[in-house]
Structure 1
């Protein structure tokens, strides 16, 4: 009987196809070539992140020091510049006697109302510009795009004169109104709405849904990530506003957080420790809100989609 001898594997067998359909060795070599590039991008990202974090760490450290030691360790720069071994809470306790607490509460009220009302206005405007068809639709959208390309501070002074004529100065209505119609939020929501298939809209209309029903039952449930992003945009617009509240909220009852922080600066001297403590408090409020909503934002991104 003839004997069968095993033949050596052909060169092609050493380069078997991977599950992705590519040969193993070229895929491994490609991954090896990508490692230095990925490492370089990681290092660049770490450097950029460190550049953003370093000033914040310096502010936090000096808020825990006496005001006289603010610039003591600045030259030469060392570990004591960004770290203190004897932190004190005197600067934070001194904030109790200032108007910063009232300003933070006013900022929270203004921002919360702006988010609630602004999301309704911006989402309905985005729905009308994406789902409906009417004459002049492109012109209306162009005006909205131009509105957020113009810095708000450039029109703040003439707009403040108009609001004074309407007796809206030193009112929460005057502080809230400019932040309700955010052109950037409308632009972002409209682009998200355009990605929703028209087949879903047609199916909803065939089932007897009105346009309001299509908006409420189809568009909004699928747009939770975009709505959360737009809401965060509206919140930050009001929270960090300074020029407009400075023009419209001139009394103590309507002062906001950034203006209250600026008012703590003396005419001839500045308590840097107190100012840095107030800055940290103003940073912590939106930071806590963002971190607390991050889980829901990720969950909405992962669970939303078109079935």
Structure 2
């Protein structure tokens, strides 16, 4: 009996040691992932010209500034009009989410519920469509938008982002898992397809709808090439392009670039933090299935 107790105690000690070691390793990995963000944050609070000069040789001064300043942020939200560009990005991203869901939800519903000839062919074309790099069609599409006088407009910025094939794919795969009996029961009760979609399918698919909204939002929020092609008016320019104005042919300011990059990253980071429980629920649900 004593030997068994000793063995159990030894096993528990080894498990505690393993947990401590794994915890330390996890902490070190977390610090390594955070270092670039910390460097950018502290770099945005030092004179921009000192950032590159402090990199070599490596020292504490590489990370910790000798001089602290808010001039980079003052320049971003002053002469560079970064605040207006951030507002433009928010308008474009949220408008794309609203219009995108209005399109993607019915499209996913039709491709999962309706039986019609060529349904799988349409779905295959959709999958192939979102696998084609947008850069491959961006220039001819920009020429078309210019001919339609949609350049330098919010509509021109929003339209390419609302038909997100990946969001349709995500929603369709979930709708296929909804029991067909629910659809049949709604039809027997006299519900229209619109009512069935909004009152039966959507309440069951809050998580994939939010996931699809995030896909649309992040795609528009991080877009660079398309706004560069269709917008030349600074009044409706988005944040990613405004950030590029911290560089010119003759000068650059890494402090302003670091500050702008951090400000741009805050919005999706907050959204993902607030909505992370939906991702957890989605994973848990799939695991239970």
What range is the shorter-chain TM-score in? 0.7 to 0.9
Name the structure 1 match of 2:52: 71
The change in CA–CA distance for 1:42 and 1:205 in structure 2 (over 3 A counts) is farther
Is 1:151 aligned to 2:133, yes or no? yes
Counterpart CA distance in 1 for 2:170 and 2:272 is: 19
Name the structure 2 match of 1:247: 229
Contact map agreement 1:222 1:304 (CA 8 A) in 2: no
The change in CA–CA distance for 1:122 and 1:274 in structure 2 (over 3 A counts) is same
Show structure 1 runs of 5+ residues with no match. Answer: 1-13, 15-24
Between 87-96 and 112-121, the greater mean CA deviation after superposition: 87-96
Name the structure 1 match of 2:42: 61
* Deviations 1:225-250, CA, capped at 9 Å, x for gaps: 10111111111111110100001011
Q: How does 1:150-299 map to 2 (within 5 A)?
A: 150-294=132-276, 297=278
The change in CA–CA distance for 1:280 and 1:204 in structure 2 (over 3 A counts) is same
Name the structure 2 match of 1:102: 84
Is 1:88 aligned to 2:69, yes or no? yes
Counterpart CA distance in 1 for 2:212 and 2:158 is: 16
The change in CA–CA distance for 1:232 and 1:92 in structure 2 (over 3 A counts) is same
Higher helix share: 2
Show structure 2 runs of 5+ residues with no match. Answer: none
Find the structure with the greater CA-based Rg.
1
Q: CA RMSD in A?
A: 3.2
The change in CA–CA distance for 1:117 and 1:41 in structure 2 (over 3 A counts) is farther
Contact map agreement 1:104 1:257 (CA 8 A) in 2: yes
Counterpart CA distance in 1 for 2:141 and 2:32 is: 37
The change in CA–CA distance for 1:42 and 1:216 in structure 2 (over 3 A counts) is farther
Contact map agreement 2:51 2:62 (CA 8 A) in 1: no
Normalising by structure 2, we get a TM-score of: 0.85
Counterpart CA distance in 1 for 2:115 and 2:20 is: 49
Alignment: residue pair count: 280
Name the structure 2 match of 1:121: 103
The change in CA–CA distance for 1:60 and 1:126 in structure 2 (over 3 A counts) is same
Counterpart CA distance in 1 for 2:53 and 2:256 is: 16
Normalising by structure 1, we get a TM-score of: 0.80
Contact map agreement 1:224 1:300 (CA 8 A) in 2: no
